[in-house]
Chain A
Amino acid sequence: MKRLIAIALLAASLGGCQAAKVISAASGFSVTQQQLDSAENFYDGTALVTLSTYANWPRCASGTKISVTNRCHDPAILKKLRNADNAVETAFIRVQNQITSGNSSGAVAAWDALQTALGAMNTIIAQNSLGGI
């Protein structure tokens, strides 16, 4: 399941990065409400749902690790992931605010910050070897 989390987060990040490249490459192009809504739904369906499922599993007993037959969460890792998710949530709100106020350049900058926040989450996954099951 940890691998699933890693894949989901990786997919969310890669999807976002591709979108960011398009935005950066196209002169005068700005982030639209539809792009934001699609990205947020994609993030919810991959990262947030998986994180929520992970959190709902019981805490791993001392000295044990998550496995296919031992579905549990590591409190320290869960906290790190929630903090990273909090940064992503804030970044989504900033993009929304820029779109709402009609600030195209601000929306693109906020979108870039969103990619950074997603990247930070991926780093936590990699540092904790969550893809190793």
Chain B
Amino acid sequence: MDAATILADVQLALTIGEAAYKLGMQAGPFLVEAYQIAFQQKVLTADERAEMQAKEAQMRAAIDAAISADDALDKS
């Protein structure tokens, strides 16, 4: 295996690692919360539930913005 191929493989691994890290950073808090509720008898307060729903709304707004941008591009 030549040096260029090895470098390309390393760069690919770093790309995948970066994507997984970013996804994990976002997903982690939700999954920890889900685990604590399911297995450690944590009970969400009204404020915590509202915070969760606010984060959901934020993510859905980002998705809807991307869809709107796609639609605008299709019409132009």
A interface, CB within 8 angstroms of B = 1, 4, 8, 33-35, 37-42, 44-46, 48-53, 55-56, 59, 68-69, 71, 73, 75, 78-79, 82, 85, 89
Residues of A within 8 A of B16 (CB): 68
Number of A-B contacts (CB under 8 A): 102
| Contact A53–B70 (Cβ < 8 Å) | no
For A55, list chain B residues within 8 Å (CB): 62-63, 66-67
Residues of chain A within 8 A of B12, CB atoms compared? 68-69
A interface secondary structure, majority = helix
In the assembled complex, which residues on chain B have CB atoms less than 8 Å from the CB atom of A38? 33-35, 37-38
Complexed CA–CA distance, A55 and B28 (Å):
19
Closest 5 CB pairs of A and B: A45-B30, A41-B34, A75-B70, A55-B66, A38-B37
Contact A42 B59 (CB under 8 A): no
Q: How many residues of B contact A (CB 8 A)?
A: 38
Which of B34, B56, B74 makes the CB contact (< 8 A) with A42? B34
B53 to chain A, nearest CB (A): 9
